[in-house]
């Protein structure tokens, strides 16, 4: 809440102040992370800080006062890439021992401010998330109503913005590698008739874990792929892997490490969401009870096998079979979701490979081939892909028309008509076209 307006100077009441600390903190720098939903400003501090803030109008400003012994901080060019902030600057302090930082805003914004404890690679921080109150929500047309809709693949480039992900020995950031691979994958998907890519993030900013699934759901996604580059405590492990949801904790040491680092990522990049969303655990518990989760998990497992088949042709596999783990990004009950580890950025050889355009393209092509293969063989009903790539079934021993009709939710009459069969007799190895329902 903005509070009540004072008479002179349109000064808004001070919003919040931390409990005073014994000694002052130094401000090391200010970083700005724009994204489609909000702009994040991060104050990097030497230790937990005593601070306060308030808003001013005519023109719109957000003013922060830090109890600090720091000298002037170089703020030139800090907000050059922001659509919401004109400038970040210092101003005359109200008293000695205070550092005043002013955010000159392009219009009135709603702030959410919170402090964060040290989380590698950062120290203590004060984070400001700025939201545009006048921004109209995007109306997304659900293309499932179309009789010949496209198959939508949501691509989540892991980490981003405040959260760099793992950092290799050469200084390569996971967030940059995942975005490059994701962009290449999206181009391949968009070039395929009957398929469409949705990039969860298109630049260097963080998207909360729940928000990723929300975006995929709003666009009617048939599959969510979260692209990552693995890491471990030692440089030895290498190879790609594909993870799908398990209700149980991971059995392998690397699986447990992955679960731990994902929680670290959530705290690092989206702490505002974690601190304020007290219903998230209840939501996840409820959704895990939903029967549709079983179908999403089963579909994810099948897609995983197809992706691994092609990835094994272009890179070493850490695991040749899909692996399960309890990961928040996979817990959407209605959208099959996978986490794809493209290699170990903690391995010197793979870090070098992951940073090359040619290897990124090979990985993107392998992932696309796996997804394409799955949907070619199992296209969702009502899609253009189903019309272009009708489902087929190879008859096995013991199968009959009535069994197949029940399995594919059709009728014996439709099966016979589609395949121009004159009798109910089938032979082993016979390929049948499955009619669209």
pLDDT of amino acid 80: 76
For residue 382, being part of any structural domain is answered with no
For residue 136, being part of any structural domain is answered with no
| Domain tally, the chain | 3
308 and 201: one domain?
yes
CA pair distance 188, 197, nearest whole angstrom: 9
Query: b/e string for 336-351 if b means 16 or more Cβ within 10 A?
Result: bbbbbbbbbbbbeebb
Q: Which among 377, 408, 424 is the end of a domain?
A: 377
For residue 229, being part of any structural domain is answered with yes
**Which 8-state DSSP code applies to residue 249?**
P
Give the mean pLDDT per block of 10 residues along the chain (437 residues): 37 41 75 89 91 94 86 78 90 88 93 86 90 67 61 94 89 95 98 96 87 87 92 89 69 52 55 46 36 68 94 95 70 78 95 97 98 89 82 87 84 91 92 80
For residue 319, being part of any structural domain is answered with yes
158 and 90: one domain?
no
Measure the CA dihedral 207/209/212/215, to 10°: -100
pLDDT of amino acid 12: 40
290 and 424: one domain?
no
CATH number at residue 322: 3.40.630.40
For residue 330, being part of any structural domain is answered with yes
189 and 307: one domain?
yes
CA pair distance 247, 226, nearest whole angstrom: 18
pLDDT of amino acid 262: 56
pLDDT of amino acid 16: 41
CATH number at residue 405: 3.10.350.10
Domain boundaries, position 14: 8-131
Q: Which among 97, 131, 165 is the end of a domain?
A: 131
82 and 171: one domain?
no
The DSSP line for 80-129 is TT-SSEEEEEEE--SSTTEEEEEEEESS--EEEEEEE--BTTB-EEEEEE
- Upper half-sphere CA count for residue 27 (Cβ side, 13 Å): 26
For residue 17, being part of any structural domain is answered with yes
pLDDT of amino acid 407: 79
**How far lies 300's CA from each of 58, 264, 284, in Å?**
53, 25, 18
CATH number at residue 104: 2.60.40.3500
pLDDT (tens digit per residue) in 83-104: 899 999 999 888 888 899 999 9
pLDDT of amino acid 327: 62
pLDDT of amino acid 333: 63
pLDDT of amino acid 393: 87
Q: Which two tokens stand for residue 56?
A: 């001013």
For residue 56, being part of any structural domain is answered with yes
295 and 363: one domain?
yes
Comparing CA positions, the residue from 254, 243, 354 lying closest to residue 307 is 243
């Amino acid at each position: 809440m903005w509070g009540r307006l004072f008479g002179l100077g349109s000064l808004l009441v001070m919003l919040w102040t931390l409990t005073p600390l014994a000694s002052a903190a130094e401000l090391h720098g200010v970083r700005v992370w724009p994204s489609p939903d909000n702009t994040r400003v991060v104050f990097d501090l030497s230790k937990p800080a005593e601070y306060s803030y308030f808003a001013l109008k005519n023109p719109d400003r957000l003013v922060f006062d830090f109890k600090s012994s720091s000298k002037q901080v170089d703020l030139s060019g800090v907000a050059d890439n922001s659509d919401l902030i004109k400038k970040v600057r210092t101003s005359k302090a109200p008293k000695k021992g205070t550092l005043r930082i002013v955010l000159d805003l392009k219009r009135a914004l709603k702030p959410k401010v919170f402090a964060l404890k040290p989380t590698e690679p950062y120290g203590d921080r004060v984070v400001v998330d700025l939201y545009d109150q006048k921004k109209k929500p995007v109306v997304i047309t659900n293309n499932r109503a179309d009789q010949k809709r496209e198959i939508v693949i949501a691509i989540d480039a892991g980490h981003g913005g405040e959260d760099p992900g793992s950092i290799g020995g050469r200084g390569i950031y996971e967030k940059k590698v995942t975005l490059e691979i994701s962009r290449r994958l999206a181009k391949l998907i968009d070039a395929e008739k009957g398929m469409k890519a949705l990039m969860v993030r298109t630049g260097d900013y963080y998207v909360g874990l729940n928000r990723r699934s929300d975006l995929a759901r709003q666009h009617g996604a048939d599959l969510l792929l979260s692209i990552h580059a693995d890491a471990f405590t030692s440089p030895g492990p290498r190879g790609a892997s594909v993870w799908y949801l398990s209700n149980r904790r991971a059995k392998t040491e690397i699986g447990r490490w992955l679960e731990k680092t994902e929680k670290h990522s959530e705290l690092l990049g989206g702490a505002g969401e974690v601190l304020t969303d007290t219903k998230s655990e209840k939501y996840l518990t409820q959704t895990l009870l939903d029967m549709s989760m079983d179908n999403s998990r089963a579909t994810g497992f099948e897609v995983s096998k197809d992706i691994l088949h092609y990835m094994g042709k272009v890179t070493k596999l850490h695991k040749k079979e899909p692996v399960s783990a309890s990961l928040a990004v996979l817990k959407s009950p209605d959208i099959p979701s996978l986490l794809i580890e493209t290699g170990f950025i903690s391995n010197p050889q793979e870090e070098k490979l992951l940073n090359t355009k040619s290897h990124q393209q090979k990985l993107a092509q392998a992932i696309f081939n796996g997804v394409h293969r799955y949907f070619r063989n199992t296209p969702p009903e009502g899609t253009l892909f189903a019309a272009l790539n009708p489902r087929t079934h190879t008859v096995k021993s013991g199968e009959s028309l009535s069994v197949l009709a029940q399995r594919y939710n059709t009728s014996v009459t439709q099966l016979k008509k589609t395949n121009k069969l004159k009798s109910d007799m089938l032979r082993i190895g016979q390929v049948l076209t499955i009619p669209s329902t």
